[in-house]
Structure 1
């Protein structure tokens, strides 16, 4: 990384600057890709360079290189495919409307210029599916259609590794969040694992394997890819960050912090503000699991000073909304949660985060009427997302509503109704998946259910809820502390010692203000 220089070219692209790193050798700091084209030799070299950036989601840089490819060879029609691919940005997130219009125009230009091989025409036709009727058809429907188109492309060219790699990625982005067999993800991983052996320096293979394994029951399968990817592409902010997706899933907080500190540094140097904020949110999450709240707060303070990114692309606005919410909720500071400021955003799912946490905070600090006002706003945002046919984020907003409403019932003294509502919210959340844009919700619904059971005087049931949380999301400090307290209150001192021991082990460097850690230490000294 020290030898890699970055030239930041200010390019008007969706209202923010485009950081374009200086071109590196293919085997230097970004990995190795060979995507064969019918273009002139100089254009071919540039095209491969563009694919290096694209496979690490350095999409704005890849777009610039594909534009340079066309300058080197105006008849290189497949370069228009590259630009259109870059304009989708992170394929796990719906791109801004402007990008969709621009990408559709690039597809049209690619077809108009023409390409010299059927294979290249097939690539353009497959990507065209992603842009077809984008003004009318929702992102989810289009990405599922694109996955089918990529399946056909991969079948047509079985010896083309790039076709297989892009198909594997499409299997992940189009997978149903409700499918707990992870059939699509495992199918994609089965495609990529042999390619990883053939092309060990290909950045996309390790990168997409991490995404494909980024689910609780299969996360450990991604550890090898996680540890490879950062080494393959040390110049890429995303490559430094992606290992933390797996580290988060398995509860390796120290490794996640290190991964994201480097990712944030590289992203800051290259001007990739969304990547920087995304990595910092993962740092905040990990520090809070270690009980190192002051370090988490310092990261949040740094985040709030970052400006100049597009507000219609999810990662940056999401990180700025959820990190302060995490800080309040993970520490049990319910008054602070209730008083969070709603950051202006054109994205309904971003505003929903804050309104949901404000409602939870108000209910838990004894102000159910204030909570109801935020719940009403949350319902409005949920309905807006439903109208936009955003099934995933509307469902997440509905789960937030269920959680907050359950705690309103509890605050009003309707404990049995509250427990039933909270159980339903936890069940609903368990049926879905976290989005790649986040390390996790501010606090899992089942963990909150455990807290409610504990307050209601049902420690055995509470222990089961906390233990279930830990099976899904290992090494969460709040779940360990809740399980320990529940075991103690139910009279199971053996389990209490075990879980208090885990609290102390995971958070031995916690700030003194973290009472759950000091209580765990006191219990262990006594017993």
Structure 2
């Protein structure tokens, strides 16, 4: 097993050059390649560490093997731009290597993320057309045909159908070559890409996780195995199975900003906020390094993605000061790279919404303003919906009913915009906006004293949420519907129902500050002082070392101090 250690030489504040020991001279470049806009140049990798250990036996010339394996490692950590450049280095050294073309096509596909653009699909198709004319062995042909199944007929075939074709082809390779570790790993990635994105059965995720776990013991430093375990276990049912892997992944591939961030998906699921914060501080720093090295016009998306998770974690610790500090680092950003990625735009509306709503600062929520960016907001209806949801909830609670009704109508329009896209990859987004509409309608009725209608609509929102998976981009719902149902019950004195709602919420959203505090208040009101003490004590444990000014923390301190002796 060969360790891929890449040492970097800093040339200036805008460039880092990776010393790969590869020749720069392009050999016998196929004329057809000249018409394709391939990513070339020195690799911009902001660390002197490593990207994990692997050995992919299908590389071609021996002298390109280190570069090829590095490219595959980058691919496994979703460093797609740098992976493509590394594969092109192999291609330039060995234009007759089919797997170099395969690597470029895989780098464009980015199976776990957003679908490729039209330009990407054209590019991938051209690359594979050249590859298909090369001589190759059966195994290489199988790999080429597998990714080719995704690009075939892209003009007339739905993305989901083509992703399923790729999955079936990778399953055949996995079965045909049982000793090929990479075949197994890329098959699990294909399973993840075709998972049911809405329901909570997690069939593909369980199947992929079982395969990956069987490989991890004998390949403990493989970046793809660890990475895909985390993705497949990023749900409330399976998250605990991914904790050990999460704690190891960042050490396996410390040079990747995405690898630094990914463990926090599991930490967030389990409510382990300190480790989530540590993970994302490193990721955001690494991302800023990449932004400078690549001389990007806008911020690299990983910085915003990491910041969203950072703010969420700090808010659960009651640490408004650090949450705002992290937000201020990205608050003025207006352009992003790449521009079409959900994770870059989502935090722009989610973070200010969280800062207001988690603190129940309804006036602040009602007066949020949509930030101006170098993109058209009409292209991002889901992200825009979060902004209007927060404003609507704020308006209802401040009894500006006309504004609340206005925000509901906007949400309905955005919901229809998402449906009209006819994009099955947006199914979770459609459901989440539906939940937001129901929630706003519920609170508008509730605060206008139609209690029965309000509770009915809020329960409907909870039912939809219960059967809808979390979007992988977000650390969590801006406010969980079931937590808001608990708030409703608490306001009308149905304290036992409130406690049940909060406790159900904490099963899927462990260590949420508002959930724990709500459970403490509900328990106190029904006279269960032992349970109230436990939850108030948890509030204090959650917020220790945060210098929190949250009134919930002050109330918890008073209750624990006054009841400490009687409970013991």
Q: Compute the TM-score of the two structures, normalised by the length of structure 1.
A: 0.93
Q: Distance in 2 between matches of 1:75 and 1:9?
A: 31
Equivalent residue number for residue 323 of structure 1 = 351
Structure 1, 446-455 or 100-109: larger mean CA deviation: 100-109
- Residues 378-402 of structure 1: CA distance to partner in whole angstroms, max 9, x if unpaired? 1112112112223221122111111
Aligned partner of 2:290 among 270, 274, 290: 270
Instruction: After TM superposition, give the deviation of residue 479 of structure 1 in Å.
Output: 0.1
Larger-Rg structure: 2
Equivalent residue number for residue 102 of structure 1 = 123
Equivalent residue number for residue 149 of structure 1 = 169
SS of residue matched to 1:92: coil
Instruction: After TM superposition, give the deviation of residue 18 of structure 1 in Å.
Output: 9.5
Aligned partner of 1:502 among 526, 538, 543: 538
1:74 paired to 2:95: yes
Instruction: After TM superposition, give the deviation of residue 523 of structure 1 in Å.
Output: 1.4
Q: Distance in 1 between matches of 2:119 and 2:112?
A: 15
Equivalent residue number for residue 130 of structure 1 = 150
- Residues 171-202 of structure 1: CA distance to partner in whole angstroms, max 9, x if unpaired? 22221134433222111111111211222221
Structure 1, 132-141 or 513-522: larger mean CA deviation: 132-141
1:28-67 mapped onto 2 (5 Å cutoff): 29-37=50-58, 39-67=60-88
- Residues 137-169 of structure 1: CA distance to partner in whole angstroms, max 9, x if unpaired? 444343333322222221122211111001112
Aligned partner of 2:498 among 462, 477, 485: 462
Q: 1:326 and 1:142, CA in 2 relative to 1: closer, same or farther beyond 3 A?
A: farther
1:450-489 mapped onto 2 (5 Å cutoff): 450-489=486-525
1:254 paired to 2:274: yes
Equivalent residue number for residue 384 of structure 2 = 351
Structure 1, 257-266 or 124-133: larger mean CA deviation: 124-133
1:161-200 mapped onto 2 (5 Å cutoff): 161-200=181-220
1:339-418 mapped onto 2 (5 Å cutoff): 339-343=367-371, 344-345=376-377, 346-389=379-422, 390-418=426-454
Q: 1:510 and 1:84, CA in 2 relative to 1: closer, same or farther beyond 3 A?
A: same
- Residues 392-451 of structure 1: CA distance to partner in whole angstroms, max 9, x if unpaired? 211221111111111111122211111111011011111111122111111111111111
Q: 1:70 and 1:326, CA in 2 relative to 1: closer, same or farther beyond 3 A?
A: same
- Residues 53-83 of structure 1: CA distance to partner in whole angstroms, max 9, x if unpaired? 1111111100111111111011112212211
Instruction: After TM superposition, give the deviation of residue 90 of structure 1 in Å.
Output: 6.0
Q: 1:151 and 1:329, CA in 2 relative to 1: closer, same or farther beyond 3 A?
A: same
Q: Distance in 1 between matches of 2:349 and 2:154?
A: 28
SS of residue matched to 1:494: helix
Structure 1, 361-370 or 184-193: larger mean CA deviation: 361-370
Q: Distance in 1 between matches of 2:316 and 2:218?
A: 38
RMSD over aligned Cα, in angstroms? 2.5
Q: Distance in 2 between matches of 1:136 and 1:297?
A: 46
1:336 paired to 2:389: no
Q: 1:17 and 1:211, CA in 2 relative to 1: closer, same or farther beyond 3 A?
A: same
Equivalent residue number for residue 240 of structure 2 = 220
In 1, are the aligned partners of 2:490 and 2:522 still within 8 Å (CA)?
Answer: yes
1:303 paired to 2:339: no
1:288 paired to 2:322: no
Structure 1, 196-205 or 358-367: larger mean CA deviation: 358-367
Q: Distance in 1 between matches of 2:137 and 2:192?
A: 28
Instruction: After TM superposition, give the deviation of residue 22 of structure 1 in Å.
Output: 5.0
- Residues 444-465 of structure 1: CA distance to partner in whole angstroms, max 9, x if unpaired? 1111111111112211101100
Structure 2 unaligned runs (5+)?
17-35, 292-298, 564-568
In 2, are the aligned partners of 1:37 and 1:44 still within 8 Å (CA)?
Answer: no
1:443 paired to 2:464: no
SS of residue matched to 2:110: coil
Q: Distance in 1 between matches of 2:395 and 2:55?
A: 55
Instruction: After TM superposition, give the deviation of residue 4 of structure 1 in Å.
Output: 4.2
1:419 paired to 2:450: no
Structure 1 unaligned runs (5+)?
none
Structure 1, 303-312 or 154-163: larger mean CA deviation: 303-312
Instruction: After TM superposition, give the deviation of residue 220 of structure 1 in Å.
Output: 1.2
Equivalent residue number for residue 23 of structure 2 = none
Q: Compute the TM-score of the two structures, normalised by the length of structure 2.
A: 0.87
SS of residue matched to 1:423: helix
